[in-house]
Amino acid sequence: MIRETTIRFRLRHATITCLLLIPVANAADWNQYGGEGGQQFTALEQINRSNLDRLIPAWTYRSGDLNQGFMEKAHSFQANPIFWNNTLYISTSANWVIAIDAVSGEERWKFDPALPRDIDYSESASRGVAIWHGDVETCPHRIFMGTLTGFVYALDALTGEVCTDFGVAGRVDMSVDAGGTGNWLGHYGITSPPAIAGGALIVGSSIGDNRMVESPRGIVRSLNVITGTLNWLWDPIPRAPEDPLRAEWAGNSASITGGANAWPPLSVDMERNLVFVSTSSPSADFYGGERLGDNRHANSLVALDIDTGAVVWHQQLVHHDVWDYDIPSQPTLTTIQREGAAVDAVVVVTKTGMLFAFARDDGTPVYEITERPVPQSDVPGEFLSATQPFSSIPPLADQSVITEDDAFGIAWFDRLGCQSVLRELRSEGIFTPPSLEGSILSPGYAGGANWGGVAIDQERQIAITNVNQIPALVRLIPRDALQTLRDSGELDGWDISAQTGTPYFMARRFFLSPLGLPCTRPPWGNLVAVDLREGTILWDIPLGTIRDLAPSVVPDFAWGVPNLGGALLTGSGLIVIGAATENTLRILDVETGEELWSHRLPTAAIATPMSYEVEGEQYIAIAVGGHEPLGMEDGDYLMTFKLERDRP
């Protein structure tokens, strides 16, 4: 289905008006990350509760990307495929872009940007690509992909060839003017697909955490989709002295601090001419003594004008972040039926394990937000916000104080090991700040919710999100004490970051037992349903079993496990989800959480499923790539499922 629309886009010195032929989204389309409005919802309902016994694998494509030859980059495969012209488009951990026949699974073309293989990378994710259609001679159908080295490529969707009129030889270097001290190659990149807003391509960035105060700027930029020239840029940190928000940054800190970048996918509301941006923590992540104040627009949901990049409204969801509590999810556009009124809203879930929703027009909270007192820091030089914002919706993940009585182990010595660590830690529930002796963060720096975001069934007014319940340990180490602690073995098993420009190194790790399982009682991962009308939890269940995590002698307890990735909802009332650190794809009932179907996979599907329709048949597709940092075996599978045809 095609509709005509007239749209303006900017070249460097002119504004041009063109007639574009734009496919209109319908139930069979999945033409952007997360589907329409990022809802992770398809209206397709051919696959339903009554016929799941006939749901079988349709085809499996293997990309060949298993991280071969990359010296310092973990492997993952997190793409959410997009669908156009009976073709699925994906990106891989090596930033290959691949077009695959949506019916047969045959490769149509592959593009390799040839990432450097002899450098280290702070990230391995590439969550997908974006597509644009226009009435232009060169590349009228364009695929855009950002790389882990900070380039945006434009490719012909039909051939995979670079669009030579875009940037320089088909690419734009987004690291230019991003700043940062020293070499950031492999640590300044793009992990989420750009957003398409008419004739504009809007791009965020992923910046390596915890390295130094003077990291690159977390700027968001709008590019012309044809030429790649800059329309505007927005810096979440107020650099200009006359900016009123400069008061939220003490002294000269707004001039030297980096980060606050937008690494999750962005969402566009063309009717309101807005792009919604989720921002992250400013540098350095776990110590904020060099950036005193609330640090707005870091850790915020921000609505920007598509034409100018001006801030229309903003809501900060974590003040003066020292927990790595980024806003990790794509802003999701939906309509909420609340107190007798229909509110066009934007929804985010956070690492703190909370769901927030705001009116898209002006940022008015849909559910009440209160500022509550939180624990304060005893680290010299650190001054935290006295309060933090809390949603009136009950927490999606545990935020309570963890004590010795909460220690867990599958053997007596396992539990004792966890208890001995707990005795030494500062533990005061959510927002317990990092300390010199060590603190327990609950939720940990992986969340709560993470980049899998929230899936919304607008008709049923149900939101679904998966959360982690794995506490993390964090401690700050004076610079003159690091070597002694290392020599003593006290930091064995800890990840240590420099935080250059601060008085402290940072050490962190997940709170795991001697046998490698979380030190707190399960569930360690949950799937949660929120009733959007009432602002209440509809149901909450453990997500996954420990069969692929625990030693083989341990039973396959359905304890809920760590997870990343998200859920797909369907018009037939189904939830489709992998996400868990278990080699299983599941389908559940959206109203009750009852498991209806499952299928064993070659490794874990740390990704978000999507669905499409070709010639009257509905397919479900998911990237099955494992996740090296989570201990899951690497994979390179794109797997699809459909209903088995009736036998004659």
Are 608 and 450 a contacting pair, CB within 8 Å?
no
324 is annotated as an active-site residue: yes
Q: Which residues contact 515 (CB under 8 A, 6 or more apart)?
A: 409, 410, 411, 414, 551
* Beta-carbon contacts of residue 608 (< 8 Å; ≥ 6 apart): 34, 40, 80, 452, 453, 565, 566, 567, 568, 579, 622
Would you say 219 and 506 are in contact if contact means Cβ atoms under 8 Å apart? no
Total count of residues recorded for the chain = 648
385 contacts 483 by C-beta, under 8 angstroms = no
Distance CA 444, CA 353 (A): 10
- List the alpha helices (DSSP H) in 292-430: 412-422
8 A C-beta contact, residue 187 and residue 122: yes
The residues, any chain, with a CB within 8 Å of residue 352's CB and separated by 6 or more, are 317, 318, 325, 397, 399, 430, 443, 447, 448
Peptide bond into 297 cis (omega under 30): yes
Residue 481: strand, helix, or coil: helix
Instruction: Return the closest-CA partner of residue 443 out of 420, 407, 478, 474.
Output: 474
The two tokens of residue 174 are: 């987004």
- Separation in Å, CA 488 to CA 180, 296, 483, 499: 34, 40, 9, 22
DSSP summary character for residue 529: E
Distance CA 253, CA 39 (A): 37
Question: Given 29, 294, 324, 634, which residue is catalytic?
Answer: 324
For residue 12, give the amino acid letter. R
Closest CA to 565 of 452, 448, 445: 452
Here the tokens at position 583 are: 């080699």
Gap between the Cα atoms of 584 and 586, Å rounded: 6
Residues 6+ apart with CB under 8 A from 12: 227, 229
CA 401 to chain centroid, in Å, comes to: 27
Task: Note whether 515 and 549 are within 8 A (CB).
Answer: no
Q: Are strands 610-614 and 595-600 parallel, antiparallel or unpaired?
A: unpaired
- Strand (E) or helix (H) holding 419: helix 412-422
Give which of 632, 640, 591 is closest to 614, Cα–Cα. Answer: 640
Q: Which residue has the tokens 């005193």?
A: 292
Amino acid making up residue 29: D
How far is it, in rounded angstroms, from Cα 600 to Cα 462? 27
What amino acid is encoded at 327 in this protein? I
Strands 130-133 and 107-111: unpaired
What angle is formed at CA 576 by the lines to CA 533 and CA 392, rounded to 5 degrees?
30
Q: How far apart are CA 34 and CA 81, in angstroms?
A: 9
Largest CA distance in the chain: 77
**Rounded to the nearest 5 degrees, what angle is found at the Cα of 447, between the Cα atoms of 442 and 453?**
150
Q: What DSSP designation does 121 have?
A: -
Which positions are annotated as active-site residues?
324
